Structure formats: C-alpha cells, structure tokens
Amino acid sequence: MLKNRHIQGWLQASPLTLILIGFLILPIITIVVVSFWQATEFSIIPAFSLENYQFLFGSPVTYKVFFATFKYALITWAMTLAIGFTVAYYLAFHIRSQTMQIALFLLCTIPFWTSNIIRMISWIPFLGRNGIANSALQSWGIIDQPLEWLLYSDFSVILAFVHLYTLFMVVPIFNTMTRIDHSLIEAARDNGASGFQTLIHVIFPLTKPGIMIGTIFVLTLVMGDFITVRFMSGSQKANVGRLISNDIALLQYPSAAATAVILLITVLIVIGILLRFVDIRKEL
C-alpha cells in the first residue's frame, strides 16, 4: 500500500513532470552548456571556454545594467507594496458585504487577464509630448514647456511596471488578510489600540506571508523583464533582460546564455532569501 501511494502519485504527476523536464529543466541545462561555448559572427562553436563569462565580468556595462535592474526592482517593489497593501486592506477590512468584496476584487484582477503589450501601448496618449498629462499641466499653468521625461524614461518604465504588477501584490495580501481572525482585531480594540496601532501591530505582522509572496512575484517579474523596459524607454534604457535579448537579436547565443545564467543565479538567490520568511505550501 505504501509503495502503491508513491507510484500513484507519480503516475498522476507524470504529465506535469514531463512538461517541466522538457520545457524547464532541459532548456536551463542547455543554456548553462551553451554559455560555455564560443561564437563567431555566423555560428556557435561547441568548445568549452570561459570567454563569455570573462567578457561579462570584465565589462563595466554588465555592472551598470545589473544596477539598473535592481533599481527598477526595488522602486517598483516599494510602490506596488504601498499601493497593493492599501488596496487589499481597504477591500478586506472596509468593505462589509461579501458580494461587493468579490466584485471589487474582480475589478482589480480583470486587467491581469488582458494583454500587457496593449496596456503598455495605452500609456502613449497619456505621456507623450502632446499627451494628456502635458496638455493638462500646461493648461493649468504649472509648466510652460512639455515635460520630456514623461515618456521614454525611467519614469515611464517604472510607471508601467507598477501599472502591470500591483495586482501581484493585491491578490496574495488580500488572500492573507481575509484569513485573519477578526476576534484578534476586536481584542486589540478592546485593549485600547487605535485603528492605526491595530494596523501596525496586528494586521501588518499577520499579513507578512502575503507580502512575501507578492514580493517574490514582483521582484522576479521585474528582474526578468525585457519588453517593458524596451518599449517604455523607447530602447533608451537597459536592464539585464534587454542585454540578453540584444545578444539574441545579434545571434550571439553563447553570450546571451552566459548573461542568462548570471541573471538566473541572481533571481534564485533573491527567491532563496525570501523563501526563508514564508512557507508557500502553508499559505495556499
């Protein structure tokens, strides 16, 4: 019977396992292998060499680009956390009817099921030189000249990140908040805690697992991104993802693979640290 259970488990999980082996593990192994290969302008040569890594670590561009990646990740994280926590708190503790709660929650999640590319494109009429933001600011007399840094800048990149990914904070934080025992909050109030004190000393600590899961989502999405940075910066800014995609466009696969390996290691270290603070299996 004991053996049976393990065989049955693996049989049921076999399609999943096969897909993950074929399209997750094998691709990563291939990338690691290819990262040690050499490349000429026209072909890749399967011969062991460290030159991709030597070049990567020897180039000041690498450090600049990794720094930019962390910068985007940290700023986006702080903003999505602040907005996401507030929205989740509002939905979980200020909306009293459950139907309303579900309706508003869905309102927050629907954009997640629509196209990211379209959602990025839709910022153009807002942020462009003659866009809504500039026209409004000019007509109110706040600025004389259109602001040039609204579109195709760090500002627009981070704005798009926050726009696309705040959802990934709202959902897990809301999920954890709805499971907080309301008698704890009553107890805090009975003991004389103000609303703000309850928020800081009771709700916030109990919400930490949700915050961690949201953090994992946002950090990995931003760190692995290349398309948002490319589109929203008009190709003027770079992060690690763009470094990889530029190499791919030039058919420099070994060099792209080496950068990808370093990016993967970086992301895994970040996740590894975050997973120490939360047991995902318990939070589902």
- Chain residues 148-187 in contact with another protein, contact rule CB under 8 A: 163, 166
The alpha carbon of 208 is separated from its chain's Cα centroid by a whole number of angstroms, namely 18
Q: What residues have CB less than 8 Å from 188, skipping those under 6 apart?
A: 197, 198, 201, 202
- Tokens 């058919």 label which residue? 251
- List 241, 252, 262, 278, residue binding another protein (CB under 8 A): 241
Closest separation between CB of residue 245 and another protein, Å? 6
Beta carbons of 89 and 81 less than 8 angstroms apart: no
236 binds another protein (CB under 8 A): no
Site residues (CB under 8 A) for another protein, limited to 8-37: 8-13, 15-17, 19-20, 22-28, 30-31, 34
Beta carbons of 78 and 158 less than 8 angstroms apart: no
Pairs from 100-106 (Cβ < 8 Å, separation ≥ 24): 105/174
Report the distance separating Cα 227 and Cα 243, nearest Å: 11
211 binds another protein (CB under 8 A): no
- List 173, 238, 258, 267, residue binding another protein (CB under 8 A): 267
130 binds another protein (CB under 8 A): yes
Closest separation between CB of residue 105 and another protein, Å? 11
Question: What are the tokens at 240?
Answer: 């690690």
The piece of 72-80, 137-145, 184-192, 241-249 that touches another protein (CB under 8 A) is 241-249
Report the distance separating Cα 187 and Cα 203, nearest Å: 12
269 binds another protein (CB under 8 A): no
Report the distance separating Cα 157 and Cα 229, nearest Å: 6
Binding mask 77-116 for another protein (x = CB under 8 A): ------x--xx-xxx--x-x-------x-xxx-xx-xxxx
CB nearer to another protein: give 103 or 184.
Answer: 103
Burial class (CB in 10 A: 0-12, 13-18, 19+), 207: buried
- List 214, 224, 229, 258, residue binding another protein (CB under 8 A): 224
- List 56, 65, 203, 260, residue binding another protein (CB under 8 A): 260
3-state class (DSSP) for residue 250? coil
273 binds another protein (CB under 8 A): no
Beta carbons of 38 and 49 less than 8 angstroms apart: yes
- List 62, 138, 178, 220, residue binding another protein (CB under 8 A): 220
CB nearer to another protein: give 54 or 115.
Answer: 115
